[in-house]
Chains A and B, each alone.
Chain A
Amino acid sequence: MSVLDPVPTLQERDWPSFSAFELTDTLSSCSSRSSLGPDHITWVHLKAVLENEKSVQLLITLADACIRVGHWPKHFKDSVLVIIPKPGKPTYSTPKSFRPIVLLNTVGKLIEKMISNRLQFEMIKYDLVHPNQVGGVRQRSTEDAGLFLTHLVCTGWAKGKKMSMLAFDIAQFFPLSIMPCFWPSFASKGSCPLW
């Protein structure tokens, strides 16, 4: 199979409703120290609220409905933009010397994290990512990439070859990844059966 062959489309998988455990498990891994968004609700507050069974059910129902209907409410998209100067720059006259970060509302982030956990699980279980992809996959780190690279180089040397490397970086990749291409590739992997 070459890169030009079409990727076979996998069969659609079910998307079961979220469980209470998924929610509490996701919530327990959230830092109590992270900055708050425009709703002023921190993870500590949300943890206190979600000790109540009824609140847990409310959020799960809401999360399931978001997936089922295919709608992400505006409240989850409200954000505050904070611009932080990067330390130790010789000059602060270029925008690149600053790092903007966006703080979102907590409930939306919780549901996003639940969805992300699901996708991480599916990705590994159904073998959806390329084995060489390191970014964005849990339990794979830069060290793995470095180890793989040194392994390749050492293998080459062992065969008595000269090794060279071409590295490139795609700037602004996320804004470039155009949605019309994104969804079909997502669907071909058998995900998102509901919209």
Chain B
Amino acid sequence: MNVYSDNDKTAILYLRDHVDELPSFHYMGGDFNVHSSMWDPEVTHHWWAAITLLEIAADLDLERTEPSNPGPTFISHNADLRSLVIDLMFYRISKSVRSRTRRDPDSKGPTDHIPLTMIITLNLVIEAVTRQSIARESDAKKAFIEHLRTGVPAIALGTLNTAADIDRVAQALADVFSSAWDKHSHKVCTTKRSQSWWDDKCTKSLSQYKLEKSHESWLLFRRAVKAAKRKFFDLRIDEIAGSNKRPWDLMEWVKQRKLPACEAIQYNGQPCHQISTLWDALHNTYNLASG
């Protein structure tokens, strides 16, 4: 979480009032405009704003990390004013290691704040979004349908007089479906920059360009992109105009909705941070007849 708190301590007051509603964070950092003897040796006091800030951080399971090269983080353009420590970084309690955080005065540039860097380990928390998929209109898709077409009629029916017989046939169906899926699907990695029109030719020509770095291969890549876009959008137009007749699929309001801002779901007054507590909350809300 990035924070900017002005001289009236607006953000600190807001956080103090809403700390119970926030999910757990890996990191909190920013310009807090708070002075304290805890982080600035030039300051002699440790007043309520600093105390509140530390309390908020503790409630969020965060702890202030001292840079490995401590010093001022704000150097005013007005040379008469004193340099200050007002930019702070917080990290998970028990994991805060001094060497993770450092000030980087060399890359300060024209700004009056000194950049702070911190190494945050995000193991298993933010993974690349990968999923198994079969591309539309691809050869794999045709092969997948063909696999199903030959697989399903080949299932031996036998006599179906008991529950076990039914389970056997249903399982055989499930096996045909899953083997077809496993055989023909492949892993795709979706990123923020993934385009739905991108195809194999684009990938090939891009890697060719990266190898050669020549003007010709760049033109080839551009051509491949243009062709891929045209093919994709012609198909889309054809589908919308001809087969599904749903022009409103192009409107904003049927597109993927932006997820709401990060907020912990509250159940019985308690924020749910674990998958198991979330599950219980949803289950109790929607499935249980609790009266």
Contact = CB atoms under 8 A, between A and B. Distances in A.
Interface residues of A, number: 43
B14 to A, nearest CB: 15
Contact of B166 (A71, A92, A94): A71
A191 B290 CA distance: 31
A52 B149 contact: yes
Range, interface on chain B: 35 or more
B44 interface: no
B110 interface: no
A73 B286 contact: no
A69 B267 contact: no
A120 B172 CA distance: 31
B120 interface: no
Interface string A44-64: 010011011011001001101
A62 B170 contact: yes
A181 to B, nearest CB: 13
Interface stretch (B26-34, B92-100, B177-185, B209-217): B177-185
Given A66-B166, A172-B289, A55 B160 contact: no
A41 B282 CA distance: 27
B148 A45 contact: yes
Nearest to B141: A45
Interface in B193-244: 244
B165 interface: yes
A54 B162 contact: no
A87 interface: yes
A175 B287 contact: yes
B149 A75 contact: no
B169 to A, nearest CB: 5
A93 B174 contact: no
A148 B169 CA distance: 48
B96 to A, nearest CB: 28
A69 B166 contact: yes
B285 A95 contact: yes
B177 A40 contact: yes
B265 A93 contact: yes
Contact of B286 (A33, A45, A65, A100): A100
A162 interface: no
Given A33-B244, A75-B171, A175-B289, A49 B149 contact: yes
Interface string A4-32: 00000000000000000000000000001
Interface stretch (B60-68, B70-78, B82-90, B150-158): B150-158
A74 B163 contact: no
Contacts of B174: 39, 75, 105
A39 B289 contact: no
Given A39-B178, A65-B166, A94-B266, A48 B287 contact: no
Which of A83, A89, A105, A172 counts the most chain B CB atoms within 10 A? A172
20 contacts: A39-B181, A40-B177, A41-B148, A48-B149, A49-B145, A65-B161, A65-B166, A69-B161, A71-B167, A73-B171, A85-B257, A91-B263, A93-B263, A94-B265, A95-B267, A98-B282, A100-B282, A172-B288, A175-B287, A175-B288
Interface of B: 21, 144-145, 148-149, 152-153, 155, 157, 160-163, 165-167, 169-171, 173-174, 177-178, 181, 185, 244, 257, 259-261, 263-267, 271, 281-282, 285-290
- Nearest 3 pairs of A and B residues by beta carbon: A73-B170, A65-B160, A54-B153
Given A62-B166, A69-B161, A93-B263, 10 more contacts: A39-B174, A52-B149, A61-B157, A64-B160, A75-B174, A97-B260, A172-B288, A172-B289, A172-B290, A175-B287
